[in-house]
Amino acid sequence: MECNQSECQWFGFGQCCPESEEIYNEVIPNSKECPHYYDLKSVAETNRTEITNEIIDVFKELGKTLPDKHIEELMSMKGTDLWNTYSAAYDLYQSHLNNLALDEILNEVEEYGVEWVKEKYQIK
């Protein structure tokens, strides 16, 4: 059945192409009122914004502010590049948290001594 809702997940080659006959019988072609209309573009843009905001939050947590230029670059990246950037930012954040934990342990060593820290963390 012909349909012009090119942003719908069921759209393909000018046709409504749902995965089941049940859905096919329920669709309303050419309408966003269709019960199975799913706007992939809007969902993708929402996900892109969420991922970008998470990257920005990582840098804020690290005490850094991303310049507007870099935020614009994030918003215009291809999906795989954005995901790879998110992954790298998350790894950086994990490393930051590990360093904070190690700093805390070193402070405890200085304050309470090595034996106390070994006992606390059950280190042999």
Q: What is the pLDDT of residues 48-91, one digit of tens each?
A: 999 999 999 999 999 999 999 999 999 999 989 999 999 999 99
Residues 108 and 67 in one domain: yes
**pTM value?**
0.65
Residues 58 and 80 in one domain: yes
Looking at residue 40, its pLDDT comes to 76
Looking at residue 118, its pLDDT comes to 93
| Number of neighbours of residue 59 by Cβ within 10 angstroms | 16
Q: Domains in the chain: how many in total?
A: 2
| pLDDT above 90: residue 25 | no
Residues 2 and 50 in one domain: no
Q: What is the mean predicted confidence (pLDDT) over 8-20?
A: 83
Per residue in 84-122, pLDDT tens? 999 999 999 999 999 999 999 999 999 999 999 999 999
Q: How far apart are CA 108 and CA 22, in angstroms?
A: 64
Residues 72 and 100 in one domain: yes
Residues 82 and 34 in one domain: no
Residues 110 and 74 in one domain: yes
Question: Burial, 55: exposed, middle or buried (Cβ in 10 Å; 0-12, 13-18, 19+)?
Answer: buried
Looking at residue 79, its pLDDT comes to 87
Q: Are 27 and 18 in contact (CB under 8 A)?
A: yes
